[in-house]
Structure 1
């Protein structure tokens, strides 16, 4: 009996998430109503409220799930000592490829979500932990450099997603890594 309820809950949440993502392709979160989400998902409003406070809560849960999933995906990897930076970026791009639709919607510059801020925070932490060259810099300077690199990388990834991922993740990782390293060379 419990597994049947769990499957129903999972299905309901999946349907609501997919409906919100579909609506976000057309309009901003502030223009979307719970009623629209429920109609698209073919779910009662009372069922919606059994899972989420409102549509902003649903969006927040989607964003948090993506960040946690991304962290888990990246933590599964072991990185080669010499190629770790490139491998980390390539794995991140592979993750975005696997979640193309939702990442493209949430990273769209016209979508008013907090997802980009969450990605920036996550990327900054990963950058400070894993990027070897950052440890050779003055700590006060490294904050500015990481901000510049992460913001630029996110814009490159956004462009790549919007271009239909026209290059494989490995090739894009090489491009981003070269851009980062050339930026670092001026600061060292």
Structure 2
């Protein structure tokens, strides 16, 4: 794997930061490439070296954040105890906290209308994989996974919309209790 030049990384970070800040201020449809470039303190041509258009920028921002999110979702097999589960959920909530502006904007109406569904599908996949056969056998696994994933996304939405009134650790502990009651 080749190493990416730091200048390229810094430019991409500046573009993404500018884009998310603008998205927090107004709807996607009203954001222009010129505004993004100006906010990122680069010229328009430089932005086009990295992204085809603002739709490509949006897609890559979503892809990048969801990839980082899934990387924080590593739940080790065999982690059954409350502390183990809370410890595995903590990095997830820390990820949301560190990327608050992105997720709060994307889950708001100013973001991509399909983002919530993208996030939900990622959580469904992860929930399905992490639960394995660890659910109550009297329950239908697919229904349980759908329920838990939708509840998780709903709780994350609430937490972000209310400007994170609880710490990531408190959120992880609450989620742990809720998950264990449903297994």
Q: Which runs of 5+ in 2 are unaligned?
A: none
Aligned residues: 180
Aligned to 2:135: 134
Aligned to 1:91: 91
Compute the displacement of 1:110 (Å).
4.3
**CA contact under 8 A between 1:19 and 1:37: conserved in structure 2?**
yes
TM-score under structure 1 length normalisation = 0.80
Compute the displacement of 1:9 (Å).
1.2
Compute the displacement of 1:109 (Å).
4.2
* Larger helix fraction of residues: 1
Compute the displacement of 1:75 (Å).
3.1
Compute the displacement of 1:128 (Å).
0.8
The CA RMSD over aligned residues, in Å, is 2.7
For residue 164 of structure 2, give the secondary structure of its aligned residue in structure 1. coil
For residue 95 of structure 2, give the secondary structure of its aligned residue in structure 1. helix
1:109-166 CA distance string (max 9 Å, x none): 442343322221221111111125437356xx33233222222221211221222222
Compute the displacement of 1:52 (Å).
0.5
Aligned to 2:6: 7
**CA contact under 8 A between 1:16 and 1:37: conserved in structure 2?**
yes
Separation in structure 1 between the aligned mates of residue 144 and residue 113 of structure 2, nearest angstrom: 25
TM-score under structure 2 length normalisation = 0.82
Kindly report which structure 2 residues correspond to 1:94-109, keeping only aligned pairs within 5 A, or say none: 94-109=94-109
Aligned to 1:156: 155
Separation in structure 2 between the aligned mates of residue 134 and residue 73 of structure 1, nearest angstrom: 22
Compute the displacement of 1:181 (Å).
4.2
1:46-85 CA distance string (max 9 Å, x none): 1111111111111111111111112223338687332344
Q: Which runs of 5+ in 1 are unaligned?
A: none
1:52 aligns with 2:57: no
**CA contact under 8 A between 2:73 and 2:91: conserved in structure 1?**
yes
